[in-house]
Amino acid sequence: MRRRSLIAAAGAASLARITPARADEPVDVALVLAVDVSRSIDEDEARLQREGYRTAVSDPKVVEAIRGGMLGSIAVCYIEWAGIEYQRTVIPWMRIASQADANGWAATLEQAPRASLSWTSISGAIEASRRAMGECPHEATRKVVDVSGDGVNNSGPPAELARDRAVAEGITINGLPILNDRPTFGRAPPIPLDVYYRDSVIGGQGAFMIAAEDFESFGNAVRRKLIREIAGLSGLVTSYA
């Protein structure tokens, strides 16, 4: 009983550390992290993916990039998605402006339960991210959705329709395709995943993608991508980690 109480207290403390300040406080970037949890991603890969986001957001270099912005803060919303019927907000909008904020966010993600469901709806992920962006309590200089996954859209409307709708609202969509060499449900993808993300997923002002060669290199790709997104850098459409 005492152990459960200590765990609950630790969870409450981490949530307290990342409770937003005033809802009207502006930020440099409103960033939705939209993360694939379809069944093509097994338990070990899901763990590596979560760990990649935890270590990247709390990395001192990422925090330095956040602090170096004009306003010195960002707002982050973490969504997990699978088929068209499943999108779940794991961590709602949180303002990050310090190392303590970033560490608290990472601790909260570590404690959150995981799910794994079938199919891959990038269109559903973008639509959920677009709705979340409309609910962001902070005015943002830039609005960015970061989509990561290891497969093409195979559930719901085409990804291009959702992408174009989001871009029309001033949202930039960046991509982090995971170039897993294992066929999805025994079938090879109809098109190389990095090409698919380039042509059908990313869009908007300064859009880019960083492809992770596998789940082991995912954390490094996330870190590079976050720094680039926070700094508002543009340039090459694609790079690899």
- The rounded distance, in Å, linking the Cα atoms of 3 and 132 is 35
Nearest C-alpha neighbor of 77 from the set 12, 169, 143, 155: 143
Domains of the chain: 2-240 (3.40.50.410)
Nearest C-alpha neighbor of 134 from the set 97, 82, 174, 93: 93
Nearest C-alpha neighbor of 40 from the set 215, 184, 182, 155: 184
Other CB atoms within 10 Å distance of the CB of residue 158: 12
Q: Over its length of 241 residues, how does the chain's per-residue pLDDT go in tens digits?
A: 433 333 333 444 444 444 444 567 999 999 999 999 998 888 888 888 999 999 999 999 999 999 999 999 999 999 999 999 999 999 999 999 999 999 999 999 999 998 888 899 999 999 999 999 999 999 999 999 999 999 999 999 999 999 999 999 999 999 999 997 555 544 556 789 999 999 999 999 999 999 998 888 899 999 999 999 998 765 445 555 5
DSSP-derived letter for residue 184 is: B
Residue 181, burial from CB neighbour count under 10 angstroms (0-12, 13-18, 19+): exposed
Using CA atoms, how far residue 80 sits from 66, 90, 109, 113, 230, in Å, is 23, 7, 11, 11, 21
Structure tokens at 64: 């330095």
Angle at which helices 218-231 and 43-57 pack, to 10 degrees? Answer: 40
Residues whose CB is less than 8 angstroms from the CB of residue 44 and which lie 6 or more positions away in sequence, other chains included: 215
Nearest C-alpha neighbor of 169 from the set 138, 210, 203: 203
Structure tokens at 204: 């908007």
For residues 110 and 14, is the Cβ–Cβ distance under 8 A?
no
